Amino acid sequence: MVKVLIVDDSSMTRNFHAYVLRSAGFAVIDASDGVEALEKLYTEGDIACIITDLNMPNMDGLTFIRRVRQEPLFADVPIIVVTTLDDATDRKEGIRAGANFYLTKPIQPSVLVESVRIAVGG
């Protein structure tokens, strides 16, 4: 199964995204902040796609994305940033930091699934 890492400090959002993706046949691992997410990346291995929030405690999304991109091991893992309508600057920052593209909340389940499918390819 294709493994997706969801990083979001809202357990509600995490659970929903996980639910949606699992229903679509993905394996989901989750983390509530950047620190935990990095840990999961190293311990879980073979993560095919990362979906991350930007606004998080401990280590925010931008720092997390940069750290991921610094690691040659994960340089090619697609990263999807999840933002809201009003964070236009954040989005650009996210892309600049190394994300592939962003999704705007609220994300319709089908769009989430399809975006991940596109991101991981095949």
Partner 1 sequence: MRFSPEDVEILAGILEEAPDYLSNIEEQILALEKGQEKELLDSIFRSFHSLKGIAGFVNLVPIVEVCHRAEDLIKELKSGKRTKSPALIDALLEAADFVDRVLHRLREAMAGYSGGVLEVDFEDLGERDVLAKIEQIPPEEQKTEEAEEPLPVIDRAFAEETLHDFLAELEDNLVQAEETLLALEHSPESETVSTLMRAFHSMKGGARLVLSLAPQETQERLLRAIEEIAHRLEDYFQEIREGKVTITAEVCEEAYRGIDLVRELSRLLKTGASGAPWEAVNAFLRPQREQRSEEVRTQTESGTGALEAFGNIMEQFLELLDDKLCSPSLVGEELQRLAEVVQRGLVRLGRENDVPLVEEVLKKSQEGDTEALKNLREQLARLFEDIQAAKDSTCREEAAQQTSLARTPLQQGTAHTVRVDSEKLERMLNLVGELLALKNATRSFVKQMERDSSPLLPEAKNIASGLERLSADFQSMVFSLRMVPIGELFSRYRRTVRDLAKSLGKKVTLLIEGGETELDRTVIEKLSDPLTHLVRNAVDHGIEPPEEREHLGKPPEGTIILRAYYRGAYTFVEVEDDGRGVDVQAVRVKAVDRGLVSSDEVLRLSDEEVLSFLFLPGFSTARVVSDVSGRGVGMDVVKTNIESMGGQVGIESVPQRGTRIWMRIPLSLLVVRGLMVRIAHERYILPLEFVRETVKVPPERVREYFNGRFVEVRGEILPLVVAEEVLFDTRVDLRGKGFDFNLVPLVVLGGEGETCAVAVDAFLEEGEYLMKAVPEYMRGNGVVSGVTIMGDGSIVVILNPPQLVQW
Burial of 83 (0-12, 13-18, 19+ CB in 10 A): buried
Q: Which strands form 27-31's sheet, in the order they lie side by side?
A: 27-31, 3-7, 47-53, 79-83, 101-104
When binding is defined by CB under 8 A, the residue of 5, 7, 20, 37 that contacts partner 1 is 20
Residue 7 as a binder of partner 1 (CB under 8 A): the answer is: no
Looking at the Cβ atoms of 39 and 114, the one nearer to partner 1 is 114
Structure tokens at 39: 């840990």
Residue 108 as a binder of partner 1 (CB under 8 A): the answer is: yes
When binding is defined by CB under 8 A, the residue of 15, 36, 59, 74 that contacts partner 1 is 15
When binding is defined by CB under 8 A, the residue of 5, 7, 13, 50 that contacts partner 1 is 13
Residue 59 as a binder of partner 1 (CB under 8 A): the answer is: no
Looking at the Cβ atoms of 12 and 46, the one nearer to partner 1 is 12
For every residue of 53-108, DSSP letters joined together read: ESS-SSS-HHHHHHHHHHSGGGTTS-EEEEE-TT-HHHHHHHHHHT-SEEEESSPP
- Summarize as ranges the residues that interact with partner 1 (CB under 8 A): 6, 9-16, 18-20, 22-24, 28, 30, 55, 57, 78, 84-85, 95-96, 98-106, 108-115, 117-122
